[in-house]
Amino acid sequence: MLSDTTTNTQVLSSGSEGCGKCVDGFILDGWVARECSCMQQNRMNSRMQNAMIPEEFDNAEFHTYRTVSKTQEGMLRKMTEYLEKFDELRSQRTNSFGFISVFGEQKLREIKNPAERVRMKTLHNNFGLGKTHLQIAAAKELIKRGIPVVCISDVSYMDQLSKARAYNDEGAAVNRMLDSAIHAPVLVWDDIGKAKPSEFRLDMYYQIIDERYKAKRPIIFSSNEDDQTLTERIGDAASSRLLGMSKGNCYAVEGSDYRLKGAAANG
């Protein structure tokens, strides 16, 4: 839960009662108790914890992002530039950022001939470029600046929503999940459009995106779909809203898989 900071603080820092310089986070300065710097650290730690960053991305930082191609150099540059102008963009309608594909997964799925599908998949690779890595690095950077972020991964989030929908609780569980996605100051949405679409899900995509748009809350997203196939996966209304929000900061990327290259170099 977003409000539960105490347990999260304990998870991340062993000495949350005080750092040795303070008592319970406060230092007595004459008659005035001022906040110790460890309190800020604790707050940042709990924001990190609340961001729900998957464990496998513990090391995802900008300095650990490997740029082995021009595409990746460009991706790193665009993400960095976006963060540089984030404060200025934040309150605007076009405050979001996206990495999408040149040739969407949905188009690949529709290729019947297996050999042709493999050929096109190789030609238009968009796996292993490190989109998620950069998104998570951006999330961490924003958290360090004091901005709370929530990260969701499309397939697991949509699965959980569908499960929550089946509870006999008058929609309470669904609303709780929606609430955190809608109200997070920044939402990082990994692999949007990957989950299998359904009427319910299209409705959820639109609700989250449109509510965020109305409240001018940014979304940093990635997708293996392109600007046309995204429509088929998340719906026309949600897709055009999302692409509108990221106008000027949405990049279609493809290129060779750097994980494969890394593996080849190691072996």
Interface contacts to Zn ion, rule CB under 5 A = 19, 21-22, 36, 38
Tell me the closest approach of the beta carbon of residue 43 to Zn ion, in angstroms: 12
Nearer to Zn ion, 38 or 188 (CB): 38
Nearer to Zn ion, 21 or 63 (CB): 21
Nearer to Zn ion, 29 or 56 (CB): 29
The Cα–Cα gap between 180 and 183 comes to 5
Tell me the closest approach of the beta carbon of residue 49 to Zn ion, in angstroms: 19
Find tokens 């710097």 and name the residue: 37
Tell me the closest approach of the beta carbon of residue 100 to Zn ion, in angstroms: 44
Nearer to Zn ion, 20 or 30 (CB): 20
DSSP string, 103-159: S-HHHHHT--SHHHHHHHHHHT--SSS-HHHHHHHHHHHHHHTT--EEEEEHHHHHH
Find tokens 């109305």 and name the residue: 214
Nearer to Zn ion, 36 or 53 (CB): 36
DSSP string, 12-80: H-TTTT--SSSBTTEEEETTEEEE-HHHHHHHHHHHHHHTT--GGGTT--GGG----SHHHHHHHHHHH
The Cα–Cα gap between 89 and 106 comes to 31
Nearer to Zn ion, 42 or 95 (CB): 42
Nearer to Zn ion, 15 or 171 (CB): 15
Tell me the closest approach of the beta carbon of residue 42 to Zn ion, in angstroms: 9
Q: How many residues does the chain have?
A: 267
Check: CB of residue 230 under 8 Å from CB of residue 243.
yes
Find tokens 């072996």 and name the residue: 267
Residue 181: both structure tokens together: 């996605």
Tell me the closest approach of the beta carbon of residue 34 to Zn ion, in angstroms: 11
Burial class (CB in 10 A: 0-12, 13-18, 19+), 20: exposed
Tell me the closest approach of the beta carbon of residue 55 to Zn ion, in angstroms: 28
Tell me the closest approach of the beta carbon of residue 241 to Zn ion, in angstroms: 44
Please state the φ and ψ torsions of residue 259, each to the nearest 5 degrees: -70, -40
Contacts of 87 (CB under 8 A, 6+ apart): none
